[in-house]
Amino acid sequence: MTKWLAIGSSRVPRRDVRSTGRGRGPSRRRPDPALVEQVHRAIRSAHQAFAARLGASLRREGIPFSRFVVLRLLVGRGPTTSKALAGTLGVTTANMPGLVDRLEADGLVTRTRNPKDRREILVEATPKGRRTCRRLRRTAVRQLVRAFDGWSEGDLRALLESLQRLGPPRRPDGLTELPVVR
């Protein structure tokens, strides 16, 4: 019997779970590598399209995407070291000074010594930075909502559940720790 998996408004045949016959419970057949590659290309293409739309929208607001991401992290987390920011963003610590320098020059962040460990420098969003982040986040959300025009809530929930199965677990602050890419 064919079971169907609902993805969006379409139904896709789902392979049955089969028993191994060795008393170890069910096992799943491996997915077709060509199909997995197609899914990967589609996810990457969608991400690139989102990033391009969002980047263009943020540039019109006067801030590049990379600085918005750092500012949003700082507003969400509070005072943080550049090393912790780099770990969350999945970049090396060498990338952070330039981003933080520009945000600081625009009055959006400040750097202060950590009172608990004077060797560390904490980066923190200023009140202007928090206001700017809220404004830019509204812009970003408007872009994302436009991208999903015509999608039902059920379609969005199905997509969300599928994508969550792929990603790392989320932290309580809604962020994920990404591996550092060197």
pLDDT band at 166; cut points 50, 70, 90? confident
What gap in Å lies between CA 108 and CA 14, rounded to an integer?
Answer: 50
Task: Give residue 20's pLDDT.
Answer: 42
Dump pLDDT digits (tens) for 30-82.
889 999 999 999 999 999 998 899 999 999 988 999 999 999 999 999 999 99
Look at residue 33 and tell me if it is in a domain: no
* 179 contacts 91 by C-beta, under 8 angstroms: no
Dump pLDDT digits (tens) for 86-96.
988 888 889 89
The domain tally of the chain equals 1
Dump pLDDT digits (tens) for 102-147.
999 999 999 999 999 888 999 999 999 999 999 999 998 998 899 8
SS3 1: coil
Residue with tokens 């780099």: 86
* 40 contacts 33 by C-beta, under 8 angstroms: no
Range of the domain at 115: 63-148
CATH of the domain at 74: 1.10.10.10
Do the strands 117-125 and 109-114 form a parallel or antiparallel pair, or are they unpaired? antiparallel
Look at residue 7 and tell me if it is in a domain: no
